[in-house]
Structure 1
């Protein structure tokens, strides 16, 4: 009988741990893709010679808009220097221009209802699709900059990202 009680207690601890981890993940994603994260930012006009083409697939539907951002390490998961928005579609291509060559990460989300925010359920789980360069996935939260980082060189660099829901 005590063995059953110990196993039951361990299962409860595992369930609690998983629930806490999911809440942390959802809270982090909400912070990343909150309304202010994709507020209009002036597109940098100064001197980059690089171009980045981001092909996006996996959208659940053609509703709303897809928001994409190219971030350096300092701006990752915050307001990024390069941001674009397009009407929702099954497949999209974003063309970022005048990027200074360097190391960046791309993040995007599908704002299905067009409210400019990354929506989540009452328990904090994401309700809209999102993605990162290199299709990086975080563990109980968003990926690190290094997991999503890509090198952008002068010329045109193409990448692909699949949205996750």
Structure 2
């Protein structure tokens, strides 16, 4: 009887419709103002392009760290982008070369060297509950 219950529990877990929880722990926030704007992408095509994130989230900045729990993403491959909208103008302000003037970050703590990252640089697998530690680049 116990083995049948265990088998049913394992099988129902495999076919569960529940989304895993993705926790983002963001550190190195420089200024205590504005919001962190987060974009979630699930494919290489249109990665980093405005309006193509499958989900967007905002966190009000109150201290130099922030945490957000995301529970509305199904299992899959994703890449996270974020920027600190310090002046609340709803855009990532850039210098004349195109480098962000406000803090920014990517999943896998990818640091761009000679141009923006690609999806493969930032992607991760969300197959169960997961926590990502992401450090802002200022």
Same fold, judged at TM 0.5 (above): yes
Q: Give 1:34's aligned residue.
A: none
Maintained 8 Å contact 1:71/1:105:
yes
Q: Give 2:137's aligned residue.
A: 164
State yes or no: 1:49 paired with 2:19.
yes
Provide the aligned length of Structure 1 versus Structure 2: 118
Distance 1:122 1:102 in 2: 36
Which consecutive aligned stretches of 4+ in structure 1 deviate over 2 angstroms post-superposition? 121-125
Aligned residue among 94, 103, 113 for 1:120:
94
Q: Give 1:92's aligned residue.
A: 66
CA deviation digits over 1:74-113, x for unaligned, max 9? 4521321121101113100111112111111111000000
Deviation at 1:120, TM superposition (A): 1.6
CA deviation digits over 1:8-67, x for unaligned, max 9? xxxxxxxxxxxxxxxxxxxxxxxxxxxxxxxxxxxxxxx661221000001111111101
CA gap 1:75/1:97 in 2 versus in 1, 3 angstroms: farther
Structure 1 residue matching 2:22: 3-state secondary structure: strand
Q: Give 1:137's aligned residue.
A: 111
State yes or no: 1:83 paired with 2:53.
no
The alignment yields a C-alpha RMSD, in angstroms, of 1.6
Maintained 8 Å contact 1:138/1:144:
no
Which structure's residues are more often helix, by fraction?
1
**Which consecutive unaligned segments of at least 5 residues does structure 2 have?**
1-16
Distance 1:143 1:122 in 2: 19
**Which consecutive unaligned segments of at least 5 residues does structure 1 have?**
1-46
